[in-house]
Amino acid sequence: MMEESTTYDRIVQWALNHPIISIIVLICTVLIAISQVRDGIILIYRFFCPKSNDGTLIIEYADETIKIEEKLISQDFDIIKIHATTHLLGMRAEREWLMKKYPGYKNCM
């Protein structure tokens, strides 16, 4: 009695019979994981090393002092904490941080 194979089974068998396909899949997996490994190494380094003032930006507006802390900087996204007394000052500080960190940034809103 012959067991019927599905399309998925035939594709897997074909891919396993061609080692170049396996190599391409392996290379793609490694390329995807590189940024995640990099971010993980940075987080571990920051956890074990004493905090420095490198990720802190202090901005002076009139009589206000606004402090911006960089919590996480990665290839995918950045997390910052802004210590401001009003929403407007926080927005101005965020825009100034963007201009400092990413020169040429344009707000498209």
Domain boundaries, the chain: 7-48, 53-101
Give SS3 for 2.
coil
Nearest to 72 by CA among 107, 32, 38: 38
Which amino acid would we find at residue 70? Answer: E
Q: In whole angstroms, give the CA distance from residue 22 to residue 85.
A: 56
10-40 pLDDT, tens digit each: 888 888 888 898 899 889 999 888 888 888 8
The pTM for the full model equals: 0.49
Q: Are 68 and 59 in contact (CB under 8 A)?
A: yes
Give SS3 for 84.
coil
Q: Are 42 and 74 in contact (CB under 8 A)?
A: yes
59-84 pLDDT, tens digit each: 888 788 888 888 887 777 888 899 98
